[in-house]
Amino acid sequence: MSTEYEIFDFPDVEPGPEKPLVLGPAGEVFNFVQTGESNGGKFLFSKLTVPPHVGPPPHIHHRTDEWFYAPNGGFSIFMGPNEFPDLDITPGDGAEKETVAMLPMRPKELLYVPRNYTHGFVNTTNVNQEMWLVWSPDTPESSILPYFMNAGKVVTSKQDITEPEFLSRIRLVSMARDYGINQSADFWDFVKGVVEDRPEWLPSDSRGRLLNLLHDEIEAQA
């Protein structure tokens, strides 16, 4: 496996109108920096604090593309090679399960997962780690912000953060289809095997497109 990669210098993005923090089902905390409400529906940007050895099980977004950025590394992204454009057909239910690639994220590395592909991530360290996520677009029809707020627990400050609620884990799966997401309850629901390598089919990081989205907003704020 190659150890060379192109570092991504994430631009400074001014926060939009303040949104509440959201405690996710695995204990991760979402801090929403920008939403489509303030940038014309272009993107949703959140900085996550993720506890050790947790992350979302494999899932598929049908309405949004997603970028992953690890300022300090410490995560592994898993992604499958096949496209699932139909919300009613998932790996293991109407199609074969996936053999996913497990991709260790290095400091300041950017990865991109287009819509309709199986993916997820996990904090592989023994300490909290920060993951920055950008979803695009973030229009009323495509936004997954309400999904996180309804499935998770809204808190007003970090001092109010407690253990995640069991019901949040249930809602993570039960509410997903309403927001164009196929969400598995367990890693092996969608997956039959894992390859710990960077495959040839891995998408480019689409950094040019992301920079265009972010720079348009930065210029609008100037």
Residue stretches of the chain with pLDDT short of 50:
222
pLDDT attached to residue 4: 81
Distances (CA, A) of 62 to 3, 65, 74, 213: 32, 8, 27, 20
Domains along the chain with CATH numbers: 21-221 (2.60.120.10)
Judged on CB neighbours under 10 Å (0-12, 13-18, 19+), 164 is: buried
pLDDT attached to residue 218: 60
| DSSP letter assigned to residue 208 | H
Instruction: Using alpha carbons, select from 221, 19, 213 the residue that is nearest to residue 134.
Output: 213
Question: Looking only at Cα atoms, what is the longest distance across the chain?
Answer: 49
pLDDT attached to residue 133: 99
- The Cα–Cα gap between 192 and 178 comes to 26
Its pTM stands at 0.94
pLDDT attached to residue 165: 84
Read off the pLDDT of residues 50-82 as tens digits, 9 standing for 90 and up: 999 999 999 999 999 999 999 999 999 999 999
Residue with tokens 């801090």: 31
pLDDT attached to residue 177: 98
Strand, coil or helix: what is 200?
coil
Cis peptide before 137 (omega within 30 of 0): yes
